[in-house]
Structure 1
Amino acid sequence: MKKNFLISIWFTLATALLFGIIYPLVVTGLAQVLFPKQANGELIRKDGNLVGSHLIGQPFTASGYFYSRPSAAGTAGYDPTASGGSNLGPTNKALIDRVNASVQQLQATNPNVTVPVDLVTTSGSGLDPDISPASADFQVPRVARERGMSEHDLRAVVANHTKGRQFGILGEPRVNVLDLNLDLDTMHPRR
Protein backbone atom coordinates (compact mmCIF):
# COMPACT_ATOMS: atom_id res chain seq x y z
CA MET A 1 0.00 0.00 0.00
CA LYS A 2 2.75 2.44 0.98
CA LYS A 3 4.70 1.50 -2.15
CA ASN A 4 1.67 2.23 -4.38
CA PHE A 5 1.14 5.56 -2.63
CA LEU A 6 4.77 6.61 -3.21
CA ILE A 7 4.62 5.52 -6.84
CA SER A 8 1.48 7.60 -7.38
CA ILE A 9 3.08 10.65 -5.71
CA TRP A 10 6.24 10.33 -7.82
CA PHE A 11 4.17 9.79 -10.97
CA THR A 12 2.08 12.88 -10.20
CA LEU A 13 5.18 15.01 -9.61
CA ALA A 14 6.92 13.66 -12.71
CA THR A 15 3.93 14.31 -14.99
CA ALA A 16 3.38 17.76 -13.47
CA LEU A 17 7.03 18.60 -14.14
CA LEU A 18 6.97 17.10 -17.63
CA PHE A 19 3.65 18.52 -18.84
CA GLY A 20 3.46 21.62 -16.65
CA ILE A 21 6.99 22.95 -17.09
CA ILE A 22 9.19 21.06 -19.55
CA TYR A 23 6.65 20.60 -22.37
CA PRO A 24 5.43 24.26 -22.35
CA LEU A 25 9.03 25.52 -22.31
CA VAL A 26 9.99 23.28 -25.25
CA VAL A 27 6.93 24.30 -27.28
CA THR A 28 7.48 28.00 -26.49
CA GLY A 29 11.16 27.70 -27.41
CA LEU A 30 10.36 25.97 -30.70
CA ALA A 31 7.74 28.60 -31.52
CA GLN A 32 10.23 31.40 -30.83
CA VAL A 33 12.84 29.75 -33.06
CA LEU A 34 10.59 28.57 -35.91
CA PHE A 35 7.84 31.23 -35.92
CA PRO A 36 9.09 34.26 -33.94
CA LYS A 37 6.72 36.77 -35.55
CA GLN A 38 3.60 34.71 -34.93
CA ALA A 39 4.73 33.57 -31.46
CA ASN A 40 4.95 37.21 -30.42
CA GLY A 41 1.53 38.17 -31.77
CA GLU A 42 2.59 39.82 -35.05
CA LEU A 43 2.41 43.23 -33.38
CA ILE A 44 2.28 46.36 -35.51
CA ARG A 45 4.10 49.50 -34.43
CA LYS A 46 3.81 52.94 -35.97
CA ASP A 47 6.23 55.67 -34.91
CA GLY A 48 7.33 53.44 -32.02
CA ASN A 49 3.78 53.04 -30.68
CA LEU A 50 1.89 49.77 -30.61
CA VAL A 51 -1.18 50.14 -32.84
CA GLY A 52 -2.42 46.57 -33.12
CA SER A 53 -1.75 43.07 -34.33
CA HIS A 54 -1.99 41.37 -37.70
CA LEU A 55 -3.84 38.55 -35.92
CA ILE A 56 -6.58 40.39 -33.98
CA GLY A 57 -9.19 42.68 -35.49
CA GLN A 58 -10.17 46.05 -34.12
CA PRO A 59 -13.06 48.39 -34.83
CA PHE A 60 -12.83 51.23 -37.32
CA THR A 61 -15.77 53.62 -37.32
CA ALA A 62 -14.47 56.77 -39.03
CA SER A 63 -15.78 57.19 -42.56
CA GLY A 64 -12.34 57.41 -44.16
CA TYR A 65 -11.45 53.91 -43.01
CA PHE A 66 -12.42 50.45 -44.14
CA TYR A 67 -14.72 48.86 -41.57
CA SER A 68 -13.89 45.53 -39.95
CA ARG A 69 -16.32 42.69 -39.38
CA PRO A 70 -18.68 43.12 -36.45
CA SER A 71 -17.46 41.49 -33.25
CA ALA A 72 -19.31 39.58 -30.54
CA ALA A 73 -16.21 39.26 -28.35
CA GLY A 74 -17.07 41.02 -25.09
CA THR A 75 -19.78 43.57 -24.41
CA ALA A 76 -18.23 46.26 -26.61
CA GLY A 77 -16.70 43.83 -29.13
CA TYR A 78 -13.09 43.12 -30.01
CA ASP A 79 -12.20 42.07 -26.46
CA PRO A 80 -9.38 39.49 -26.84
CA THR A 81 -10.07 38.14 -23.35
CA ALA A 82 -13.64 37.27 -24.34
CA SER A 83 -13.09 35.69 -27.73
CA GLY A 84 -16.11 33.89 -29.10
CA GLY A 85 -19.16 34.16 -31.27
CA SER A 86 -22.52 35.53 -30.24
CA ASN A 87 -24.06 32.04 -30.00
CA LEU A 88 -27.22 33.47 -31.54
CA GLY A 89 -28.92 31.09 -33.95
CA PRO A 90 -30.16 32.11 -37.41
CA THR A 91 -33.74 32.44 -36.17
CA ASN A 92 -32.85 34.53 -33.11
CA LYS A 93 -34.70 37.87 -33.26
CA ALA A 94 -31.79 39.82 -31.74
CA LEU A 95 -29.44 38.52 -34.45
CA ILE A 96 -31.94 39.19 -37.24
CA ASP A 97 -32.57 42.74 -35.97
CA ARG A 98 -28.83 43.48 -35.64
CA VAL A 99 -28.03 42.15 -39.11
CA ASN A 100 -30.97 44.03 -40.69
CA ALA A 101 -29.91 47.27 -38.99
CA SER A 102 -26.33 46.80 -40.20
CA VAL A 103 -27.48 46.08 -43.75
CA GLN A 104 -29.64 49.24 -43.80
CA GLN A 105 -26.81 51.36 -42.41
CA LEU A 106 -24.31 50.06 -44.97
CA GLN A 107 -26.74 50.34 -47.88
CA ALA A 108 -27.26 54.00 -47.01
CA THR A 109 -23.62 54.61 -47.98
CA ASN A 110 -23.68 52.35 -51.04
CA PRO A 111 -27.25 51.89 -52.32
CA ASN A 112 -28.24 49.34 -54.96
CA VAL A 113 -25.32 47.05 -54.08
CA THR A 114 -25.67 43.82 -52.14
CA VAL A 115 -23.92 44.03 -48.76
CA PRO A 116 -21.36 41.22 -48.34
CA VAL A 117 -22.34 38.88 -45.54
CA ASP A 118 -19.07 39.25 -43.61
CA LEU A 119 -19.71 42.97 -43.10
CA VAL A 120 -22.86 42.23 -41.09
CA THR A 121 -22.07 38.92 -39.35
CA THR A 122 -19.55 38.10 -36.66
CA SER A 123 -16.94 35.39 -36.99
CA GLY A 124 -16.62 32.40 -34.70
CA SER A 125 -13.85 34.08 -32.69
CA GLY A 126 -15.24 37.61 -32.89
CA LEU A 127 -11.68 38.82 -33.51
CA ASP A 128 -11.03 38.24 -37.21
CA PRO A 129 -8.63 40.86 -38.60
CA ASP A 130 -9.64 40.22 -42.20
CA ILE A 131 -12.57 40.91 -44.48
CA SER A 132 -13.32 39.42 -47.88
CA PRO A 133 -12.21 41.24 -51.04
CA ALA A 134 -15.93 41.72 -51.79
CA SER A 135 -16.36 43.54 -48.46
CA ALA A 136 -13.39 45.77 -49.22
CA ASP A 137 -14.72 46.47 -52.72
CA PHE A 138 -18.14 47.35 -51.29
CA GLN A 139 -16.49 50.05 -49.14
CA VAL A 140 -14.27 51.53 -51.87
CA PRO A 141 -16.70 54.31 -52.99
CA ARG A 142 -17.17 55.60 -49.42
CA VAL A 143 -13.48 55.49 -48.48
CA ALA A 144 -12.35 56.98 -51.82
CA ARG A 145 -14.80 59.86 -51.43
CA GLU A 146 -13.63 60.58 -47.86
CA ARG A 147 -9.94 60.42 -48.78
CA GLY A 148 -10.23 62.31 -52.06
CA MET A 149 -8.94 59.36 -54.08
CA SER A 150 -10.17 57.83 -57.28
CA GLU A 151 -11.95 54.52 -56.86
CA HIS A 152 -9.57 52.99 -59.40
CA ASP A 153 -6.50 53.97 -57.34
CA LEU A 154 -8.09 52.74 -54.12
CA ARG A 155 -9.01 49.41 -55.72
CA ALA A 156 -5.33 49.03 -56.67
CA VAL A 157 -4.34 49.57 -53.02
CA VAL A 158 -6.93 46.99 -51.92
CA ALA A 159 -5.60 44.54 -54.54
CA ASN A 160 -2.08 44.98 -53.12
CA HIS A 161 -3.42 44.07 -49.67
CA THR A 162 -5.44 41.06 -50.83
CA LYS A 163 -3.91 37.76 -49.76
CA GLY A 164 -4.83 34.52 -51.46
CA ARG A 165 -5.67 31.19 -49.94
CA GLN A 166 -3.09 29.81 -47.54
CA PHE A 167 -0.94 27.21 -49.35
CA GLY A 168 -3.20 27.82 -52.34
CA ILE A 169 -6.04 25.69 -50.94
CA LEU A 170 -6.93 26.72 -47.38
CA GLY A 171 -9.43 29.44 -46.55
CA GLU A 172 -10.59 32.24 -48.79
CA PRO A 173 -8.89 35.36 -50.18
CA ARG A 174 -8.79 38.08 -47.53
CA VAL A 175 -7.80 41.67 -46.79
CA ASN A 176 -6.28 42.64 -43.43
CA VAL A 177 -8.22 45.76 -42.41
CA LEU A 178 -5.60 47.23 -40.06
CA ASP A 179 -2.79 46.86 -42.62
CA LEU A 180 -4.96 48.43 -45.32
CA ASN A 181 -6.01 51.38 -43.15
CA LEU A 182 -2.46 52.04 -41.93
CA ASP A 183 -1.19 51.98 -45.50
CA LEU A 184 -3.90 54.43 -46.53
CA ASP A 185 -2.97 56.76 -43.67
CA THR A 186 0.61 56.75 -44.92
CA MET A 187 -0.11 57.06 -48.65
CA HIS A 188 -3.34 59.08 -48.68
CA PRO A 189 -4.10 60.80 -45.35
CA ARG A 190 -7.71 61.67 -44.69
CA ARG A 191 -8.80 65.16 -45.63
Structure 2
Amino acid sequence: MRSSWLRSHLAALRALLVLTVLTGVLYPLAIWAVAQLPGLHDKADGSLIKAANGSTVGSRIIGQSFTDKDGNPLKQYFQSRPSTAGDGYDPTATAASNLGPESIVDTLPVPGAKDDEGNPDEGDQSLLTQVCTRSKDIGELEGVDGSRPFCAKSGVGAVLSVFGSRDAKGVVTRPTRVVSVNEACPAAPFITAYRGVAVECAKPGEDYAEGQIVPIRGGAPAKPEVPSDAVTASGSGLDPAISTAYARLQAPRVATARGIAEDKVLDLIDKYTTGRSLGFMGEPSVNVVELNLDLDRAAPYKS
Protein backbone atom coordinates (compact mmCIF):
# COMPACT_ATOMS: atom_id res chain seq x y z
CA MET A 1 0.00 0.00 0.00
CA ARG A 2 2.71 2.49 1.08
CA SER A 3 4.91 1.54 -1.92
CA SER A 4 2.04 2.10 -4.37
CA TRP A 5 1.17 5.47 -2.78
CA LEU A 6 4.83 6.60 -2.97
CA ARG A 7 5.22 5.54 -6.61
CA SER A 8 2.09 7.43 -7.69
CA HIS A 9 3.20 10.62 -5.93
CA LEU A 10 6.72 10.40 -7.35
CA ALA A 11 5.26 10.01 -10.84
CA ALA A 12 3.06 13.07 -10.28
CA LEU A 13 6.08 15.04 -9.05
CA ARG A 14 8.13 14.06 -12.11
CA ALA A 15 5.27 15.09 -14.42
CA LEU A 16 5.03 18.43 -12.60
CA LEU A 17 8.76 19.08 -12.99
CA VAL A 18 8.80 18.10 -16.67
CA LEU A 19 5.77 20.25 -17.54
CA THR A 20 7.18 23.18 -15.53
CA VAL A 21 10.40 23.06 -17.55
CA LEU A 22 8.55 22.66 -20.86
CA THR A 23 5.78 25.23 -20.41
CA GLY A 24 7.41 27.55 -17.87
CA VAL A 25 10.96 27.75 -19.22
CA LEU A 26 11.56 26.26 -22.68
CA TYR A 27 8.32 27.49 -24.32
CA PRO A 28 8.70 31.13 -23.14
CA LEU A 29 12.36 31.11 -24.20
CA ALA A 30 11.40 29.79 -27.64
CA ILE A 31 8.75 32.48 -28.09
CA TRP A 32 11.21 35.16 -26.95
CA ALA A 33 13.81 33.88 -29.43
CA VAL A 34 11.32 34.00 -32.32
CA ALA A 35 10.33 37.54 -31.31
CA GLN A 36 13.95 38.69 -31.72
CA LEU A 37 13.98 37.85 -35.43
CA PRO A 38 14.30 40.78 -37.87
CA GLY A 39 10.89 42.27 -38.59
CA LEU A 40 9.43 41.05 -35.30
CA HIS A 41 11.80 42.53 -32.72
CA ASP A 42 10.35 46.06 -32.74
CA LYS A 43 6.72 44.92 -32.42
CA ALA A 44 7.57 42.37 -29.74
CA ASP A 45 9.24 45.06 -27.64
CA GLY A 46 6.18 47.32 -27.76
CA SER A 47 6.70 49.34 -30.97
CA LEU A 48 8.54 51.96 -28.92
CA ILE A 49 9.26 55.45 -30.25
CA LYS A 50 12.54 57.11 -29.31
CA ALA A 51 13.47 60.78 -29.35
CA ALA A 52 16.69 62.13 -30.89
CA ASN A 53 18.50 61.75 -27.55
CA GLY A 54 17.60 58.05 -27.41
CA SER A 55 14.97 58.33 -24.68
CA THR A 56 11.69 56.44 -25.09
CA VAL A 57 8.76 58.82 -25.55
CA GLY A 58 5.91 56.48 -26.38
CA SER A 59 4.62 53.66 -28.53
CA ARG A 60 3.36 53.63 -32.11
CA ILE A 61 0.33 51.62 -31.05
CA ILE A 62 -0.74 53.60 -27.95
CA GLY A 63 -2.00 57.16 -28.18
CA GLN A 64 -1.17 60.06 -25.87
CA SER A 65 -2.88 63.22 -24.69
CA PHE A 66 -1.25 66.52 -25.65
CA THR A 67 -2.71 68.82 -23.02
CA ASP A 68 -1.50 71.02 -20.18
CA LYS A 69 -1.89 70.22 -16.48
CA ASP A 70 -5.48 71.50 -16.55
CA GLY A 71 -6.43 69.32 -19.51
CA ASN A 72 -6.45 72.16 -22.04
CA PRO A 73 -5.13 71.30 -25.53
CA LEU A 74 -1.62 72.51 -26.35
CA LYS A 75 -2.00 74.57 -29.52
CA GLN A 76 1.43 73.61 -30.89
CA TYR A 77 0.49 69.92 -31.03
CA PHE A 78 -1.98 67.85 -32.99
CA GLN A 79 -4.69 66.57 -30.68
CA SER A 80 -5.56 62.89 -30.40
CA ARG A 81 -9.10 61.55 -30.42
CA PRO A 82 -10.93 61.37 -27.06
CA SER A 83 -10.05 58.53 -24.69
CA THR A 84 -12.10 56.91 -21.93
CA ALA A 85 -9.20 54.75 -20.70
CA GLY A 86 -8.63 55.96 -17.13
CA ASP A 87 -7.65 59.63 -17.20
CA GLY A 88 -6.87 59.21 -20.90
CA TYR A 89 -4.76 56.67 -22.80
CA ASP A 90 -4.03 54.60 -19.70
CA PRO A 91 -3.04 51.08 -20.89
CA THR A 92 -3.89 49.66 -17.46
CA ALA A 93 -7.48 50.91 -17.74
CA THR A 94 -8.28 50.34 -21.41
CA ALA A 95 -12.03 50.61 -21.86
CA ALA A 96 -14.88 52.09 -23.86
CA SER A 97 -17.69 54.21 -22.45
CA ASN A 98 -20.24 51.49 -23.32
CA LEU A 99 -22.71 54.23 -24.25
CA GLY A 100 -24.83 53.75 -27.36
CA PRO A 101 -26.99 55.84 -29.70
CA GLU A 102 -29.90 55.80 -27.24
CA SER A 103 -27.82 57.63 -24.62
CA ILE A 104 -29.23 61.11 -25.18
CA VAL A 105 -30.52 62.25 -21.76
CA ASP A 106 -28.12 63.59 -19.11
CA THR A 107 -28.35 63.04 -15.38
CA LEU A 108 -27.98 66.60 -14.14
CA PRO A 109 -25.90 67.26 -11.00
CA VAL A 110 -27.94 68.21 -7.96
CA PRO A 111 -26.48 71.30 -6.22
CA GLY A 112 -25.23 70.43 -2.74
CA ALA A 113 -25.66 66.68 -3.20
CA LYS A 114 -22.74 64.30 -2.61
CA ASP A 115 -21.98 60.74 -3.60
CA ASP A 116 -21.29 57.81 -1.25
CA GLU A 117 -17.67 58.94 -0.84
CA GLY A 118 -18.59 62.51 0.02
CA ASN A 119 -17.65 63.99 -3.36
CA PRO A 120 -19.88 66.65 -4.97
CA ASP A 121 -22.49 65.27 -7.34
CA GLU A 122 -21.19 65.77 -10.90
CA GLY A 123 -24.12 64.16 -12.68
CA ASP A 124 -23.65 61.95 -15.73
CA GLN A 125 -23.38 63.14 -19.32
CA SER A 126 -25.08 61.20 -22.10
CA LEU A 127 -23.10 60.16 -25.18
CA LEU A 128 -24.95 62.81 -27.18
CA THR A 129 -23.92 65.61 -24.83
CA GLN A 130 -20.33 64.36 -24.77
CA VAL A 131 -20.23 64.50 -28.57
CA CYS A 132 -21.90 67.94 -28.65
CA THR A 133 -19.53 69.38 -26.05
CA ARG A 134 -16.43 68.05 -27.79
CA SER A 135 -17.60 69.33 -31.17
CA LYS A 136 -18.30 72.80 -29.77
CA ASP A 137 -14.88 72.95 -28.04
CA ILE A 138 -13.01 71.74 -31.13
CA GLY A 139 -14.87 74.22 -33.31
CA GLU A 140 -13.74 77.05 -31.03
CA LEU A 141 -10.15 75.73 -30.93
CA GLU A 142 -9.83 75.33 -34.69
CA GLY A 143 -11.89 78.37 -35.67
CA VAL A 144 -14.60 76.42 -37.53
CA ASP A 145 -18.30 75.74 -37.14
CA GLY A 146 -18.58 73.12 -34.40
CA SER A 147 -22.35 72.64 -34.70
CA ARG A 148 -23.82 69.17 -35.19
CA PRO A 149 -27.34 67.80 -35.70
CA PHE A 150 -29.24 67.28 -32.43
CA CYS A 151 -26.83 69.55 -30.53
CA ALA A 152 -27.73 72.81 -28.80
CA LYS A 153 -25.44 75.83 -29.20
CA SER A 154 -24.55 75.51 -25.51
CA GLY A 155 -22.88 72.16 -26.25
CA VAL A 156 -25.46 69.76 -24.83
CA GLY A 157 -27.83 67.37 -26.53
CA ALA A 158 -30.90 69.13 -27.93
CA VAL A 159 -33.50 66.88 -26.33
CA LEU A 160 -37.01 67.60 -25.05
CA SER A 161 -39.34 65.73 -22.73
CA VAL A 162 -42.87 66.36 -23.96
CA PHE A 163 -45.89 65.80 -21.67
CA GLY A 164 -49.51 65.63 -22.76
CA SER A 165 -52.24 63.35 -24.09
CA ARG A 166 -51.05 60.46 -26.26
CA ASP A 167 -52.49 58.43 -29.11
CA ALA A 168 -52.68 54.64 -29.32
CA LYS A 169 -49.00 54.45 -30.34
CA GLY A 170 -47.90 56.45 -27.31
CA VAL A 171 -47.07 59.61 -29.28
CA VAL A 172 -47.95 62.89 -27.59
CA THR A 173 -50.60 64.58 -29.74
CA ARG A 174 -51.40 67.59 -27.56
CA PRO A 175 -48.39 68.83 -25.58
CA THR A 176 -49.16 70.53 -22.27
CA ARG A 177 -45.63 70.81 -20.90
CA VAL A 178 -42.16 70.68 -22.57
CA VAL A 179 -38.79 70.50 -20.81
CA SER A 180 -35.26 70.79 -22.26
CA VAL A 181 -33.92 67.86 -20.22
CA ASN A 182 -30.18 68.53 -20.71
CA GLU A 183 -30.24 72.23 -19.80
CA ALA A 184 -30.34 72.85 -16.05
CA CYS A 185 -32.13 75.89 -14.69
CA PRO A 186 -31.61 78.82 -14.84
CA ALA A 187 -30.30 78.18 -18.38
CA ALA A 188 -32.38 79.49 -21.27
CA PRO A 189 -33.62 76.51 -23.36
CA PHE A 190 -32.20 76.13 -26.87
CA ILE A 191 -35.68 76.75 -28.30
CA THR A 192 -38.35 78.93 -26.72
CA ALA A 193 -41.41 76.90 -27.77
CA TYR A 194 -42.37 73.49 -29.12
CA ARG A 195 -45.70 73.07 -30.93
CA GLY A 196 -47.04 76.18 -29.25
CA VAL A 197 -45.93 75.29 -25.72
CA ALA A 198 -43.19 77.25 -23.94
CA VAL A 199 -40.06 75.16 -23.27
CA GLU A 200 -38.80 75.02 -19.66
CA CYS A 201 -35.28 74.44 -18.36
CA ALA A 202 -34.72 71.26 -16.36
CA LYS A 203 -34.66 71.16 -12.56
CA PRO A 204 -31.85 68.90 -11.28
CA GLY A 205 -33.21 65.88 -9.45
CA GLU A 206 -36.61 66.02 -11.15
CA ASP A 207 -37.66 62.96 -13.17
CA TYR A 208 -38.84 63.67 -16.73
CA ALA A 209 -38.98 60.04 -17.86
CA GLU A 210 -42.78 60.06 -18.08
CA GLY A 211 -42.63 62.53 -20.95
CA GLN A 212 -41.98 61.55 -24.56
CA ILE A 213 -38.27 62.05 -25.29
CA VAL A 214 -37.90 64.04 -28.51
CA PRO A 215 -34.46 64.89 -30.02
CA ILE A 216 -34.45 68.09 -32.06
CA ARG A 217 -32.24 68.07 -35.14
CA GLY A 218 -31.81 71.82 -35.46
CA GLY A 219 -30.23 73.69 -38.37
CA ALA A 220 -26.71 72.22 -38.28
CA PRO A 221 -25.26 70.96 -41.59
CA ALA A 222 -25.72 67.27 -42.41
CA LYS A 223 -21.92 66.92 -42.69
CA PRO A 224 -20.31 68.73 -39.72
CA GLU A 225 -16.94 70.42 -40.15
CA VAL A 226 -15.61 68.58 -37.09
CA PRO A 227 -15.00 64.90 -38.07
CA SER A 228 -16.65 62.11 -36.11
CA ASP A 229 -13.38 60.64 -34.80
CA ALA A 230 -12.62 63.99 -33.15
CA VAL A 231 -15.70 63.67 -30.91
CA THR A 232 -15.91 59.91 -30.23
CA ALA A 233 -13.53 57.64 -28.33
CA SER A 234 -12.26 54.35 -29.72
CA GLY A 235 -13.31 51.01 -28.25
CA SER A 236 -9.96 50.53 -26.48
CA GLY A 237 -9.39 54.17 -25.55
CA LEU A 238 -5.80 53.75 -26.80
CA ASP A 239 -6.13 54.51 -30.52
CA PRO A 240 -2.90 56.28 -31.63
CA ALA A 241 -4.31 57.57 -34.92
CA ILE A 242 -6.78 60.15 -36.21
CA SER A 243 -8.41 60.57 -39.60
CA THR A 244 -6.69 62.62 -42.29
CA ALA A 245 -9.69 64.98 -42.17
CA TYR A 246 -9.14 65.69 -38.47
CA ALA A 247 -5.38 66.11 -38.99
CA ARG A 248 -5.89 68.60 -41.82
CA LEU A 249 -8.45 70.50 -39.74
CA GLN A 250 -5.74 71.06 -37.11
CA ALA A 251 -2.94 71.99 -39.53
CA PRO A 252 -3.58 75.79 -39.64
CA ARG A 253 -3.55 76.05 -35.83
CA VAL A 254 -0.34 74.02 -35.45
CA ALA A 255 1.39 75.97 -38.23
CA THR A 256 0.44 79.30 -36.65
CA ALA A 257 1.53 78.21 -33.17
CA ARG A 258 4.94 77.07 -34.44
CA GLY A 259 5.40 79.96 -36.86
CA ILE A 260 5.89 77.78 -39.95
CA ALA A 261 4.20 77.44 -43.32
CA GLU A 262 1.04 75.37 -43.38
CA ASP A 263 2.37 73.45 -46.40
CA LYS A 264 5.22 72.14 -44.25
CA VAL A 265 2.74 70.82 -41.70
CA LEU A 266 0.63 69.22 -44.43
CA ASP A 267 3.74 67.48 -45.80
CA LEU A 268 4.37 65.96 -42.36
CA ILE A 269 0.74 64.80 -42.20
CA ASP A 270 1.22 63.01 -45.52
CA LYS A 271 4.45 61.45 -44.22
CA TYR A 272 2.68 59.82 -41.27
CA THR A 273 -0.49 58.83 -43.10
CA THR A 274 -1.05 55.10 -43.47
CA GLY A 275 -3.47 53.59 -45.99
CA ARG A 276 -6.30 51.14 -45.50
CA SER A 277 -5.44 47.78 -43.96
CA LEU A 278 -4.96 45.19 -46.71
CA GLY A 279 -5.89 47.94 -49.14
CA PHE A 280 -9.63 47.94 -48.40
CA MET A 281 -10.28 47.80 -44.63
CA GLY A 282 -10.87 50.99 -42.66
CA GLU A 283 -9.76 54.48 -43.68
CA PRO A 284 -6.37 56.21 -44.06
CA SER A 285 -5.14 57.48 -40.70
CA VAL A 286 -2.40 59.61 -39.18
CA ASN A 287 -0.26 58.53 -36.19
CA VAL A 288 -0.45 61.53 -33.83
CA VAL A 289 2.46 60.59 -31.55
CA GLU A 290 4.92 60.16 -34.41
CA LEU A 291 3.65 63.30 -36.15
CA ASN A 292 4.06 65.47 -33.04
CA LEU A 293 7.52 64.06 -32.34
CA ASP A 294 8.68 64.88 -35.87
CA LEU A 295 7.16 68.36 -35.53
CA ASP A 296 9.35 68.97 -32.48
CA ARG A 297 12.40 67.93 -34.52
CA ALA A 298 11.54 69.89 -37.65
CA ALA A 299 10.02 73.02 -36.12
CA PRO A 300 10.66 73.33 -32.36
CA TYR A 301 8.00 75.33 -30.55
CA LYS A 302 9.06 78.71 -29.21
CA SER A 303 6.84 79.89 -26.38
Which bracket does the TM-score occupy, shorter chain normalised? 0.7 to 0.9
Matching residue of 1:50: 56
Matching residue of 1:81: 92
Work out the CA distance in 2 between the residues paired with 1:32 and 1:86: 36
Is 1:99 the counterpart of 2:104? The answer is: no
Given the superposition, is the C-alpha separation of residues 48 and 91 from structure 1 closer, same or farther in structure 2, using an over 3 Å criterion? same
Q: Give the structure with the larger strand fraction.
A: 2
RMSD over equivalenced CA pairs, Å: 2.4
- Given that residues 110 and 138 in structure 1 are in contact (C-alpha distance below 8 angstroms), is that contact kept between their aligned partners in structure 2? no
Given the superposition, is the C-alpha separation of residues 169 and 96 from structure 1 closer, same or farther in structure 2, using an over 3 Å criterion? same
Identify which of 251, 262, 267 aligns with 1:140: 251
| Amino acid in structure 1 at the alignment position of 2:298 | M
Matching residue of 2:83: 71
- Given that residues 103 and 120 in structure 1 are in contact (C-alpha distance below 8 angstroms), is that contact kept between their aligned partners in structure 2? yes
Matching residue of 2:29: 25
- Given that residues 59 and 68 in structure 1 are in contact (C-alpha distance below 8 angstroms), is that contact kept between their aligned partners in structure 2? yes
- Given that residues 136 and 158 in structure 1 are in contact (C-alpha distance below 8 angstroms), is that contact kept between their aligned partners in structure 2? yes
Moved more, 14-23 or 42-51: 14-23
Q: After superposition, what is the alpha-carbon deviation per residue over 1:1-43, rounded to whole angstroms, capped at 9, x for unaligned?
A: 9799887776666555544443333223212225000111121
Work out the CA distance in 2 between the residues paired with 1:29 and 1:169: 33
Once the two structures are TM-superposed, the CA of residue 183 in structure 1 deviates from its matched residue by 1.0
Q: In the comparison of the two structures, how many residue pairs are matched?
A: 190
Identify which of 35, 44, 52 aligns with 1:39: 44
TM-score by structure 2 length?
Answer: 0.56
**Identity over the aligned pairs, expressed in percent?**
44
Once the two structures are TM-superposed, the CA of residue 151 in structure 1 deviates from its matched residue by 2.3
Moved more, 125-134 or 25-34: 25-34
Work out the CA distance in 2 between the residues paired with 1:48 and 1:167: 32
Once the two structures are TM-superposed, the CA of residue 117 in structure 1 deviates from its matched residue by 1.0
Is 1:160 the counterpart of 2:160? The answer is: no
- Given that residues 85 and 123 in structure 1 are in contact (C-alpha distance below 8 angstroms), is that contact kept between their aligned partners in structure 2? yes
Moved more, 167-176 or 114-123: 167-176
| Amino acid in structure 1 at the alignment position of 2:265 | L
Q: Give the structure with the larger helix fraction.
A: 1
Given the superposition, is the C-alpha separation of residues 129 and 16 from structure 1 closer, same or farther in structure 2, using an over 3 Å criterion? same
TM-score by structure 1 length?
Answer: 0.85
Work out the CA distance in 1 between the residues paired with 2:286 and 2:82: 15
SS at match of 1:97: helix
| Amino acid in structure 2 at the alignment position of 1:40 | D
| Amino acid in structure 2 at the alignment position of 1:110 | G
Work out the CA distance in 2 between the residues paired with 1:170 and 1:20: 38
Identify which of 96, 110, 121 aligns with 2:143: 110
Work out the CA distance in 1 between the residues paired with 2:36 and 2:95: 27
- Given that residues 110 and 141 in structure 1 are in contact (C-alpha distance below 8 angstroms), is that contact kept between their aligned partners in structure 2? no
Q: After superposition, what is the alpha-carbon deviation per residue over 1:119-158, rounded to whole angstroms, capped at 9, x for unaligned?
A: 1111111111111111101111211221122323321221
